[in-house]
Chain A
Amino acid sequence: MIQNLADGILVGSVLSLGAIGLTLVMHMLRFANFSHAELLSIGAYAALVFDAVFAAILPPLAAKIGPLSMTWALALALLAAIAITGASALLIDRLVFRRVRSKGSELSMVFASFGVAMIVRNVTGLLFGLGTQLYSRDIVFAVVVSRDPLLLIKPDQVFVLAAALLVMVALHLVLTRTTLGFALRAVAENPTLAQVNGVNLGRMIALVWVLGGGLAAIAGVFYGLTNQISPMIGRDLVLPVFAATIVGGIGSVYGAVLGGFIVGVAANVALAVLPSGYSPSVPFLIILAVLLVRPNGLFGEARA
């Protein structure tokens, strides 16, 4: 049980990072983006490629950082992955979403996102193979934190949780301390009013995509670091990430953070009760429960 809780918090940090970007996009562009989870996949694979590249160019970088399985090369690759994924998100918007937005309704965008997800997922499969891959083949042993109840934690997991929390704190500071953050929140609340107050809407939308893509890349690499990398990352995470945004309330960054942890913990604790095969169903049950009890989520506002 306590092990499930610990694992859940870890998964939750990944889901939170993914959900922050999704909730912003869903709120500002007003469509459920089914391709958002594919950005995690793009990030995970981009880091895989750059990890190999950096390690090849400068072999000392292939050294591990302390007790982690993460290498210096992977740390640098993470930065590259953030840039690549942010750019991909922006590119997809320019190529597909922005054009559909200008001619269709918001639901056409939902549909387009299905198509985009399918293309990204399968192109990834074609490029990198359908099998699973790992950043590091070295086995890192878990540390026994407690024997009774048994609690095993890997150094990577501690790092991922700490780093994810750090990213969230940084985002919090941007949103509450900088005028850029105010502008983002202003656009989320009332795009027209933000425009008349001098905010360039097109630039903010681009920023949201880059931000969402960057956070998704971090989430994807962290997921790959603690699980494994496969072209199905997007397929497996799309529903949990949606569940996190709905639990938190669409448009709320803090709701997305909390929602991510709630969904991660609930899905893992549920494993203590349910047979493990059922874990993909848990996010849906959470969505149903939220829609039943509090349809606008924990922090969301009713919006027509």
Chain B
Amino acid sequence: MIGFISYAVFFSTVASILAIAVLGLNLQWGFTGLFNGGVVAFFGAGAYGTLILGGTPQADHLGGFGLIYPLALAGGAAVAGLLAWVVGILTLRLRQDYLAIATFGIAVTFENVMRNAEALSGGAKGFRGFERPLRDLFGDGFGYNLAFFCFVLALLVGVFLFLERLVRSPFGRLLRAIREDEDAARSLGKSPARVRLVSFVTGSVIIGLAGGLYATFYAFISPQDVLPTLTFQIWAMLIVGGAGNNRGAVFGAFLIWGGWTSSGWALSRFAPVEAQLYTGSIQYILIGSIIVTMLLWRPQGLLPERLVISQAGQPRKPRTTGSMT
């Protein structure tokens, strides 16, 4: 029984951390229509940032600023925000798919740099030398995990409430207005590029926060943790849950993470030994199929967006028969 509860806490901690990242992505994609193809770069920036700022001095790589934990975590999130600001400035005024390509590119580059820049990140071996905060108080066992879960859960609730308020505020309405009809928003004197940038950076800070928590939980981060696959997983969570709906985002995170871990467990348990090598491939095919199936079958997700406002009378025009006036 204790084993089960212990696993449940472990599972829920990771799922909650991912849920925070999904909420960040939801602000970008669900509410603003920004395609972040490199979620993992911002997640990783938060993770590496937190460990570098909060870790103890190391001989072979950067780190050891020994900041108190809340500052380290905030610093990690800020690093993610800074990265988002740079990418956003360059791409948000361009065609929308440039953002997708540029963010995808920064994720590849981020992983590549973390793998090679040993002096910065510890290279392929990963970043060590971080102690989990308040270890003296909670020890290393179940007690610590439970306490950390409560901390993560509190942050998840906090982020959730913050976003719920944000999307109901005038700024949230502006986001959706720009998503629905950029020209109309511009005619109201709003600068869509600026508003998008604010949304993109805020979402990335939230994703960075999730990365910081993830790295804290394992007290370790390596390039293996920031592969593009994580981007797909987080995307699948949002699409399945329902873009534009914060409840859906959290629900999708738990559902997909549950599916991912249980499919991994089932494959390792029941698949023939010679197929074990291909467990990853099979799981990726599943994730890919889920993404494609959802887009074809139920693009609005399981918990669709409840439209507060809609731009009646400004639907998108079909492209091939587009207007030429």
Question: Interface residues, chain A, CB within 8 Å of chain B?
Answer: 26, 30-32, 34, 96, 99-100, 103-108, 110-112, 114-119, 121-123, 125-126, 130, 191-193, 195, 201, 235, 238-239, 242-243, 246, 250, 275, 277-278, 280-281, 283-285, 287-288, 291-292, 295, 303-304
Contact = CB atoms under 8 A, between A and B. Distances in A.
Contacts of A281: 108-109, 112-113
B94 A291 contact: yes
Interface residues of B, number: 48
Most chain A CB atoms below 10 A, which of B100, B115, B280: B100
Given A107-B100, A284-B106, A291-B90, A122 B281 contact: yes
B316 interface: yes
Interface in B229-243: 232, 235, 239
A239 B108 contact: yes
Given A122-B284, A191-B320, A277-B116, A110 B108 contact: no
Interface stretch (B10-18, B75-83, B289-297): B289-297
Contacts of B115: 277
B112 to A, nearest CB: 5
B109 A119 contact: no
Contacts of A304: 95
Contacts of B95: 250, 303-304
A122 B282 contact: yes
Given A32-B97, A192-B324, A277-B116, A118 B284 contact: yes
Nearest to A116: B292
Interface of B: 33, 35, 37, 90-91, 94-98, 100-102, 104-106, 108-109, 112-113, 115-116, 228, 232, 235, 239, 277-278, 280-282, 284-285, 287-292, 295-296, 299, 316, 319-322, 324
B100 A32 contact: yes
A235 B107 CA distance: 13
Given A31-B97, A121-B284, A123-B285, A103 B320 contact: no
Contact of A125 (B104, B109, B281, B288): B281
B35 A107 contact: yes
B138 to A, nearest CB: 39
B40 to A, nearest CB: 13
B35 A111 contact: yes
B80 to A, nearest CB: 17
Contact of B285 (A31, A32, A112, A119): A119
B102 A287 contact: yes
B274 to A, nearest CB: 11
A303 B116 CA distance: 38
B281 A130 contact: yes
